Structure 1
Amino acid sequence: MDLNRTFAQAVTHQNEGRWAEAETLYRKVDKARPGTAPVSWNLGVVLKAQEKWEQALAAFERAGKADPGFRGLNFNIGLCLQKLDRKEEAVAAFEKSVAVEPQDPVGRFNLAAAYRDQEKLEAALAQVDAALALQPEFVEAQLLQSKLRTNMLPLWHVPMVNDAPRNDAYAAAIRTQVKPGDLVLEIGTGSGLLAMMAAKAGAQVVTCEAVPWIAETARKVIAANGLSDRITVVNTLSTALEVGGVLPRRADVLLSEIVASDFLSERIIPAVADARTRLLTPDARILPARGGVRCALAAGELLEKHLFTGPTNGFDLSAFNKLYPRSVRYDARLVQPHALSASVDPFSFDFTGGAIADSEHVRFSLPASADGRCVALAQWVWLDFGGGVMFENSPFIDSPASGWQPGFYLPDHPLEVKRGQSLAFDAHHDGFNVWLSFRQ
Structure 2
Amino acid sequence: MLMKDCKVCESEFRVLSSIPRWHFAMLNDNERNEKLKLAMESSDMRDKLVLDIGTGTGFLSMLAVQNGAKHVYTCEVNPYVAKKAEEIISINGYKDKITVINKLSTDLILGFDLPDRADVLISETVDCGFFGEGFAVSLTHALRELLHENALLIPSAVRLNCCLINSEDIAALNCVPDNILGFDLSSFNEFQTPGYFPVRLNTWNHKIVSNVSEIMIVDFQSNISFDKNCFIQKRATASTQVHGVLFWFNLSLAENIELSNSPENNRSHWMQAVQLFEHPVEVKENSLYHLHCFSTENGIVFKGVYPDTDDTNRSLLHTDKVSNELI
Give the alignment's TM-score, normalised by structure 2. Answer: 0.78
Report the equivalent of 1:48: none
User: Contact conserved, 1:411 with 1:438, CA < 8 A, in 2?
Assistant: no
- 1:384-430 superposed Cα distances (whole Å, 9 cap, x missing partner): 22412222211x22423524552232251263542x22332211123
User: Contact conserved, 1:293 with 1:379, CA < 8 A, in 2?
Assistant: yes
Q: What secondary structure does 1:377 align onto?
A: strand
Report the equivalent of 1:9: none
Q: Which segment drifts farther, 309-318 or 338-347?
A: 309-318
Q: Which runs of 5+ in 2 are unaligned?
A: 306-316, 318-327
Q: Letter of the 1:176 partner, please give it.
A: S
Report the equivalent of 2:153: 286
- Which one scores higher on RCO, CA 8 angstroms, separation ≥ 6? 2
Report the equivalent of 1:106: 3
Count of residues in Structure 1 that have an aligned counterpart in Structure 2: 303
Q: Does 1:165 align with 2:31?
A: yes
Quote the Cα distance in structure 2 between the aligned partners of 1:257 and 1:313.
Answer: 42
Q: What secondary structure does 1:171 align onto?
A: helix
Shift of 1:254: 0.6
Q: What secondary structure does 1:106 align onto?
A: helix
Quote the Cα distance in structure 2 between the aligned partners of 1:305 and 1:242.
Answer: 46
Question: What does 1:340-351 correspond to in 2, within 5 Å?
Answer: 340-351=209-220
1:435 aligned to which of 301, 317, 321: 301
User: Contact conserved, 1:375 with 1:410, CA < 8 A, in 2?
Assistant: yes
User: Contact conserved, 1:186 with 1:207, CA < 8 A, in 2?
Assistant: yes
1:186 aligned to which of 28, 46, 52: 52
Q: Letter of the 1:266 partner, please give it.
A: E
User: Contact conserved, 1:266 with 1:432, CA < 8 A, in 2?
Assistant: no
Q: Does 1:265 align with 2:132?
A: yes
- 1:329-351 superposed Cα distances (whole Å, 9 cap, x missing partner): 24315435453333223233332
RMSD: 3.3
Shift of 1:223: 2.0
Q: Which runs of 5+ in 1 are unaligned?
A: 1-103, 113-126, 129-140
Q: What secondary structure does 1:410 align onto?
A: strand
Q: What secondary structure does 2:130 align onto?
A: coil
Q: Does 1:250 align with 2:117?
A: yes
Report the equivalent of 1:356: 225
- 1:44-95 superposed Cα distances (whole Å, 9 cap, x missing partner): xxxxxxxxxxxxxxxxxxxxxxxxxxxxxxxxxxxxxxxxxxxxxxxxxxxx
User: Contact conserved, 2:238 with 2:283, CA < 8 A, in 1?
Assistant: no
Quote the Cα distance in structure 2 between the aligned partners of 1:328 and 1:277.
Answer: 29
- The structure carrying a bigger strand percent of its residues is 2
Q: Does 1:275 align with 2:139?
A: no
Report the equivalent of 1:297: 164
Q: Letter of the 1:392 partner, please give it.
A: S
Report the equivalent of 1:213: 80
Q: Letter of the 1:363 partner, please give it.
A: F
User: Contact conserved, 2:58 with 2:85, CA < 8 A, in 1?
Assistant: yes
Q: Does 1:406 align with 2:273?
A: yes
Question: What does 1:76-115 correspond to in 2, within 5 Å?
Answer: 104-107=1-4, 109=6, 112=7
User: Contact conserved, 2:179 with 2:186, CA < 8 A, in 1?
Assistant: no
Give the alignment's TM-score, normalised by structure 1. Answer: 0.60
1:195 aligned to which of 51, 61, 64: 61
Q: Which segment drifts farther, 199-208 or 271-280?
A: 271-280
Q: Does 1:385 align with 2:282?
A: no
Q: Identity of counterpart residues, as a percentage?
A: 24
Shift of 1:199: 1.6
Which structure has the larger Rg over C-alpha atoms?
1
